[in-house]
Amino acid sequence: MPNCLTLKKSNCKNCYKCIRHCPVKAIRFSGSQAHIIGNECILCGQCFVVCPQDAKQIVDETEKVKVLLQSGDPVIVSLAPSFIANYSGVGINSMRKALKQLGFYDVEETAIGATIVKNEYERMLREDERDVVISSCCHSINLLIQKHYPQALQYLADVVSPMQAHCMDIKKRFPNAKTVFVGPCVAKKDEAEHYEGIVDAVLTFEELTNWFEAEGIKLEFSKDRDVHSRARFFPTTGGVLKTMAQDMPGYTYLALDGVDNCIAALKDILAGNIHKCFIEMSACVGSCVGGPVMEKYHRAETVRDYITVASYAGEKDFEVSQPKASELQKNFEYIEKRLQPPSDIEIQNILRQMGKFKPSQELNCGSCGYNTCREKAIAIIQGKAEISMCLPFLKDKAENFSDTIVKNTPNGIIVLNEQLEVQQINNSARKMMNIRSANDVLGDQVIRILDPTVFINVMQTGRNVRDERVYLAEYNRFVEQSVVHDKESHLIVAIMRDITDEQNEREKKENISRQTIEVADRVVDKQMRIVQEIASLLGETAAETKIALSKLKESIQDE
C-alpha cells in the first residue's frame, strides 16, 4: 500500500465502490476487505473520494511539519494555486498572514514554479525536436505511465513538477530553508517522498484547515490581486496551455483531464496515431481544482472553480530566475508490476466457476468494479478479487438455492402481495388445491383458491398465525397453516402442511377406540347380567336349603 494512503479495516464494508471507481483497478479484496496494490496504484485519490465509510485515509503530516517549525530553520510554504477555489474569497496575503501565525517564515505561490516549468516546456519544443510531449506536472499521470504504459515514457516530459521547481527555487534563494507544499493532491505526498531533498513535507488543504481550527485562526476575506499571475491558471483544465505561447509550427496543443481520457490518448499515441502534439494531462476531472481532497469535502463545481481561478489570475507571468534545463531534468523509471497475465485456460476455468459457461452468460455488467467478466476472472487468478464479488452470480446462486427449497419442500407455499394477489405458488400448494399450472392463478386474487379471511386478519391485526389447523372444505383437505406478513417486502407468506392423512388416521384410530369401548361396554353389561342371574339362582337355592335344614332340625328335636 502507498505510504500516503492507509486503510481503516473496521470501516470497510465490502461495498466494492472503490474498485468500481479505480481507473486502473489497483485494489484487491481478501477476507472481504479492500487492499490497495502499491505498485499499481497511481494515487489519483478516487478510492478516498468515493468511500462511503471513510475506510481510505490520507496520512496526516501535520506533526511532521510542526517538527520542522521547531528546527529553527525557516520553513516556507509553497501554496498550490488551487487554494483560491478551496478557500473562497481568501487571497495570498490573507493566507500568508494566517500561515505566519502558525510559525511559517513565509508563503509563496506554487504558480512561481509553474512559470519555470512552462518556460522549460516551451524551450523543449523549440530546441529538442520532440514529436509527442506529455506534460509531467501531474504526479498521478506520471505514475500511470510509469506503471501501466511504460512504452510511453519516451513521450513524458522529463521535467520537474511546478511543486518541485518552486521548492528548488526557494532553497536556492534560502539555502537553509525547509519547504512545505500545501494543496489538494494525495499524489504530491508520494512525489515529495520519492524525490528526496526537494520538498520536505506535504499538507492537504484539509490538514491545513484542521490546523487553523485547532489554533483558532480565522482566515480574512480579501482577494488581493497580483496582475503578474498568468500561471495561476495551472490548476484548471488547459491551464498549462493558457500560459504557453503555442506558436510551434505544425504542433497541436491539447488538454485532457480524467484518467480514462488520458488512457485513451496514451493508447492512441502508442498505436502511432498521434504526432507533433503537446498534451497537457491531468488525472482529476477539472484538473487540480477537482483534486481528491477538495472533492471529498467540497462538492465539485468545475465551472464555478474555474471562474474563481480565472478571476484571480492575471495576464502576465511571474518574474523568475530561469534555471538551466539540466537543473530541471527529472528521470522517470519504469515501475514493474508483479502480477503476470494468466493463460486463457486459467481464465476459462474461473469463468466456469462464476457460472459463465458461454459468452452470452458474460453480462459484463460492471457491478464488481471490472469492465468485463474476463477482466474479473483475471483479477481472481491474480488474487485481486473474489468470485463472490459477482452480483449476478450471487443473485442466481441465491435464487437457485431458494427456488430449490421452495420447489422441493413438501409444504405448500403461497406468496401474496398486500392486495392479496398471488405472486408465487409452489408445486406442493398446487397439488393440494388441484391447480394445473402456476400461471392459472398468478396475479389473481387469492379468493379464487382460498378463503382470504386469515390473510386479511393478519394484515389488520399485525399478529401472525402459527400452526393453525384448518379444514379446506373445497379441497377436502386438512392443513396446518402459518401465515406471516413481511412488512418490509410488503408480502404475505402462507405455509401449509397437508395433515389430511394424519387427520384420517387419527379419526380411524378414534373410530376403532370408540368401537372397542362399545364392545367392552356390551361385554361388561352381558357379564353383569350373567352374574346377576347366577346370583339370583344361588339365592333361591340357598333359601330352599335353609328351609329344608330347618324342617330337618325341627323333626330331630321333636324326636
At 559, the pLDDT band (50, 70, 90 cuts) reads: low
Residue 306 lies in a domain: yes
pLDDT of residue 400: 66
At 551, the pLDDT band (50, 70, 90 cuts) reads: low
Any idea of the CA torsion for 345, 351, 354, 359, to the nearest 10 degrees? -150
Q: Order the strands of the 252-257 sheet from edge to edge.
A: 132-134, 277-282, 252-257
pLDDT of residue 402: 65
Residue 556 lies in a domain: no
Q: Are residues 212 and 106 in the same domain?
A: yes
pLDDT of residue 393: 67
- Across 63-67, 332-336, 389-393, least confident range: 389-393
Q: Are residues 38 and 147 in the same domain?
A: no
Q: Which of 42, 59, 76 is the last residue of a domain?
A: 59
C-alpha pair distances (Å), 549 with each of 97, 542, 544, 552, 559: 149, 10, 9, 5, 16
Write out the residue range of the structural domain in which residue 292 sits.
60-328
CA 139 from centre of chain: 26
User: pLDDT of 5-56, one tens digit each?
Assistant: 777 776 787 778 888 889 998 888 777 788 888 889 999 988 888 888 888 8
Q: Are residues 286 and 253 in the same domain?
A: yes
Q: Are residues 68 and 205 in the same domain?
A: yes
Residue 420 lies in a domain: yes
pLDDT of residue 225: 60
Q: Are residues 399 and 472 in the same domain?
A: no
Q: Are 27 and 18 in contact (CB under 8 A)?
A: yes
Which set of grid coordinates corresponds to residue 166? 518552486
Domains identified in the chain, total number: 4
% of the chain beyond a pLDDT of 90: 51
Q: Are residues 428 and 457 in the same domain?
A: yes
Residue 176 DSSP one-character state: T
User: pLDDT of 356-398, one tens digit each?
Assistant: 888 887 777 777 778 888 888 888 887 777 776 776 666 666 6
At 348, the pLDDT band (50, 70, 90 cuts) reads: confident
Residue 531 lies in a domain: no
pTM, 2 dp: 0.70
- Across 128-137, 163-172, 356-365, 543-552, least confident range: 543-552
Section 232-248 average pLDDT: 92
CATH number at 394 reads 1.10.15
Residue 491 lies in a domain: yes
> Residue 195, class by beta-carbon neighbours within 10 Å (0-12 exposed, 13-18 middle, 19+ buried)?
middle
> Is 272 a residue whose pLDDT tops 70?
yes
Section 118-125 average pLDDT: 95
Q: Which of 126-140, 307-321, 396-410 has the highest mean pLDDT?
A: 126-140
Find the length of the chain: 559
C-alpha pair distances (Å), 11 with each of 20, 55, 414: 18, 5, 40
- Across 303-317, 328-342, 449-463, 539-553, least confident range: 539-553
Residue 86 lies in a domain: yes
Q: Are residues 300 and 389 in the same domain?
A: no
Number of other CB atoms surrounding residue 431 within 10 Å:
12
Strands 277-282 and 252-257: what pairing? parallel
pLDDT of residue 123: 95
pLDDT of residue 558: 60
User: pLDDT of 165-219, one tens digit each?
Assistant: 999 999 999 999 999 999 999 999 999 999 999 999 999 999 999 999 999 999 9
Q: Are residues 171 and 55 in the same domain?
A: no
Q: Are residues 31 and 103 in the same domain?
A: no
- Give the span between the Cα atoms of 279 and 135, in whole angstroms: 6
CA 247 from centre of chain: 47
- Across 249-258, 365-374, 548-557, least confident range: 548-557
Nearest to 234 by CA among 300, 179, 165: 165
pLDDT of residue 17: 84
- Across 78-82, 198-202, 541-545, least confident range: 541-545
Q: Are residues 274 and 356 in the same domain?
A: no
pLDDT averaged over every residue in the chain? 87
- Please list the residues that pair with 479 across neighbouring strands: 470, 498
Section 130-157 average pLDDT: 96
- Give the span between the Cα atoms of 140 and 146, in whole angstroms: 10
> Is 265 a residue whose pLDDT tops 70?
yes
pLDDT of residue 23: 92
pLDDT of residue 252: 96
Q: Are residues 121 and 215 in the same domain?
A: yes
pLDDT of residue 296: 47
Q: Are 399 and 409 in contact (CB under 8 A)?
A: no
- Give the span between the Cα atoms of 17 and 56, in whole angstroms: 12
pLDDT of residue 29: 79
- Give the span between the Cα atoms of 92 and 473, in whole angstroms: 88
- Residue indicated by cell numbers 483531464: 257
> Is 109 a residue whose pLDDT tops 90?
yes
Residue 527 lies in a domain: no
- Give the span between the Cα atoms of 393 and 374, in whole angstroms: 14
CATH number at 52 reads 3.30.70.20
- Across 235-239, 482-486, 546-550, least confident range: 546-550
Q: Which of 383, 408, 433 is the last residue of a domain?
A: 408
At 517, the pLDDT band (50, 70, 90 cuts) reads: confident
CATH number at 462 reads 3.30.450.20
Q: Are residues 292 and 424 in the same domain?
A: no
C-alpha pair distances (Å), 553 with each of 67, 541, 550: 144, 18, 5
Q: Which helix (H) or strand (E) holds 471?
A: strand 465-472
Q: Which of 9, 35, 59 is the last residue of a domain?
A: 59
pLDDT of residue 361: 78
> Is 275 a residue whose pLDDT tops 50?
yes
- Give the span between the Cα atoms of 139 and 206, in whole angstroms: 20
Q: What type of residue is 320?
A: V
**Helix 205-215 vs helix 62-69: angle between axes, to the nearest 10 degrees?**
60
pLDDT of residue 557: 62
Residue 511 lies in a domain: no
